[in-house]
Amino acid sequence: MVEINASSNRIEGCVQLSASKSISNRLLMIKAISNSSFELYNLSESDDTKILNQILSNTSLPNEINCHHAGTTLRFLTAYLSTIKGTFRVFGSDRMHQRPIKPLVDCIHKLGIEIRYLENEGFPPIEILGNETIEGGELTIPGNISSQFISALLLIAPKLKNGLSLRIIDPILSIPYIKMTLSLMQEMGIKYVWDKNTIHIEHQAYSTRNLAAENDWSSSSFIYSLASLSNESKIEIPHLYSESVQGDFYVSELYSHLGVETSFHKGGITIKKNNQVSTKLEFNLSDFPDLALPYVVSCAGLGIEVYLSGLESLKIKESDRLVSIKKELSKFNVECEINDHSIYVPKNQLIKYNGMVIDDHNDHRIPMSIAPLAIKTESNIIFKDSLVVNKSYPLFWDDLKKLGFNIVN
């Protein structure tokens, strides 16, 4: 349990974010698939990356693999283990066993690999009977599911004997994450062609070169939220740049509508609060779903009417995120309207914390999204679990301290 309050509505300081979890995990997979010994630097300190790195660092992969809460790890490993001779049982937490994996498994079945569901059809845990020689060929996958399924197949594509032609059925969600995967593969020597809705990758070898992961634009969304809710702010965030493979770079544009301006310089970025705040906003965030929660909380805290759509993928995250954020915002006298793909928050709702403990729903992004509301409340906000943030942003509470928040564990 942790309690926080804001000592001031003026925020100034410097926050050094860690490396991108998304980039780190993809680079770890590329290293494993290429079976090479090149060096990776500045990897994320998140639990998800540590879990994946620990699994892949084994001299020989274990037959029983526990991915815990790490969805990316389980999905990437499902594809990767299919290309290795052996029998592997892959499982995770209770919530992980509620997150569907059928579209990915169906594709791997079509590649000739046997995967068995050990409990419920379409969900982990699973047993994979891997094979070193996979022909490859043509596959079709829905685009309105997790982009991690698509990335998992793309990462192994160069290893397949005949490569892979992957047709993605419209609508395609989270396109920037697919582009991130392809960009990192290209940086490691892989050639591809993206023609309309089909990505073609021939059989080829990853090159070996040392690489460092970029710092995390996604984590910056919580710092942007703090800036937006403050009366005055100036926050330095080193090592974030406009030339980025991360789609969540879009956070700088998104928060410009909430009065946060971003200045780019050689060392990173500086964000400042100004008075240019919109009164009504509407965005389709299908390409940037991870930005939805901090953004909707920021709008609620500022009394801004907002409608965010394109959020289908949030149902199958660590929690059903729209349901979770609606429940936690109600503890601040904020009512939301949600459905399977959108959230709407009416304007001018009075922020009033009722003192109830904020439940994290075993989801790291819930407490990190809610925490900035401390600027708008007089009493301490109480969070159920301080450690859940370790999944993606282990230093979150420490960074709040740096920015003047009082944190009581």
Cα(323)–Cα(337) distance, integer angstroms: 10
Cα(31)–Cα(44) distance, integer angstroms: 15
User: Looking at the whole model, is its pTM more than 0.85?
Assistant: yes
DSSP 356: P
Q: What is the pLDDT of residue 229?
A: 97
| Residues with catalytic roles | 290
Please list, in sequence order, all residues whose beta carbon lies within 8 angstroms of the beta carbon of residue 179, skipping any fewer than 6 positions away: 245, 247
Sign of CA dihedral 90, 95, 97, 98: negative
- Nearest of 83, 62, 84, 65 to residue 74 by alpha carbon: 65
Largest CA distance in the chain: 62
DSSP letter for each residue of 304-359: -EEEEE--GGGGGSSS-HHHHHHHHHGGGT---EE-SS-EEE-S-PPP----PPBP
- Nearest of 408, 389, 382 to residue 222 by alpha carbon: 389
Please list, in sequence order, all residues whose beta carbon lies within 8 angstroms of the beta carbon of residue 57, skipping any fewer than 6 positions away: none
3-class SS at 57? coil
Question: What length is written for the chain?
Answer: 409
- Nearest of 357, 260, 339, 392 to residue 1 by alpha carbon: 357
Question: Going residue by residue through the chain (409 aa), what tens digit of pLDDT does each one get?
Answer: 999 999 889 999 999 999 999 999 999 999 999 988 889 999 999 999 999 999 999 878 999 999 998 899 999 999 999 999 999 999 999 989 999 999 999 999 999 999 999 999 999 999 999 999 999 999 999 998 889 999 999 999 999 999 999 999 999 988 999 999 999 999 999 999 999 999 999 999 999 889 999 999 999 999 999 999 999 999 999 999 988 999 999 999 999 999 999 999 988 999 999 989 999 999 999 999 999 999 999 999 999 999 999 999 899 888 899 999 999 999 999 999 999 999 999 999 999 999 999 999 999 999 999 999 999 998 999 999 999 999 999 999 999 999 999 998 8
Helix (H) or strand (E) holding 32: helix 21-34
Please list, in sequence order, all residues whose beta carbon lies within 8 angstroms of the beta carbon of residue 342, skipping any fewer than 6 positions away: 307, 308, 309, 310, 311
Tokens of 328: 């936690």
Q: What is the pLDDT of residue 192?
A: 98
Cα(334)–Cα(390) distance, integer angstroms: 27
Tell me the residue type at 164. L
| Rg value, the chain, Cα | 21
| Residue 229 region by backbone torsions, left for phi larger than 0, else alpha for psi between -120 and 50, else beta | alpha
Terminal Cα-to-Cα distance of the chain (whole angstroms): 6
DSSP 19: B
Q: Are strands 305-309 and 343-345 parallel, antiparallel or unpaired?
A: antiparallel
Q: Going edge to edge, which strands form the sheet with 280-284?
A: 280-284, 305-309, 343-345, 337-338
Are 53 and 67 in contact by the 8 Å Cβ rule? The answer is: no
Is 21-212 a domain of CATH 3.65.10.10? yes
Task: Tell me where in the chain the CATH 3.65.10.10 domain(s) lie.
Answer: 2-18+215-408, 21-212
Q: What is the pLDDT of residue 377?
A: 94
Cα(139)–Cα(398) distance, integer angstroms: 45
Q: Apex CA 180: angle with CA 189 and CA 115, to 5°?
A: 85
Is 2-18+215-408 a domain of CATH 3.40.50.300? no
| Residue 174 region by backbone torsions, left for phi larger than 0, else alpha for psi between -120 and 50, else beta | left
- Nearest of 290, 297, 278, 383 to residue 336 by alpha carbon: 297
Cα(237)–Cα(92) distance, integer angstroms: 34
